[in-house]
Amino acid sequence: MHRVTEKIGDGARKGAVFKARVDTGKVWTDQPDSPDNLITTRILWLDGLEDGFNRGVDAQGGVVDTRRRYVYIHGTNQHASLGRPNSHGCVLLSDDDVLELYGLTPPGTPVLILA
């Protein structure tokens, strides 16, 4: 279980590229896939709700905290990889889908991620 803790990208253009949660001013266009999995259009920053599993640290002292690991729901430039693992924990959506979800999802919304 997670929740949306912060929304980033109000007013950004569709395809806007983010670095460190800041709009770079660049827009990804439908060119051949970049080798990089870009963060595009909008970010829904997640916060884990399960101590020791996705919040805080685990029994061995390793950081498992979703927010501190910068796990998001976000748009991506790698549309051909949607539906397959292609990140270190983020949930990747098309730019159209992340725009729709962003508009429907206020901060605090619960998010259940099933593997």
| Model pLDDT for residues 67-114, shown as the tens digit of each residue | 999 999 999 987 777 777 767 778 899 999 999 999 999 999 999 988
Q: Residue 48: which residues within 8 A CB-CB, separation 6 or more?
A: 1, 2, 54, 55, 64, 65, 66, 67
**pLDDT above 60 for 32:** no
pTM of the shown model: 0.89
The mean per-residue pLDDT over the stretch 37-54 comes to: 94
CA atoms within 13 A on the CB side of 11: 2
Query: Where are the domains positioned within the chain?
Result: 2-111
The predicted pLDDT at position 33 comes to 58
Bigger pLDDT: 30 or 46?
A: 46
| pLDDT of 9 | 97
Strand residue runs (E) in the chain? 2-8, 16-19, 22-27, 39-48, 72-75, 91-93, 110-111
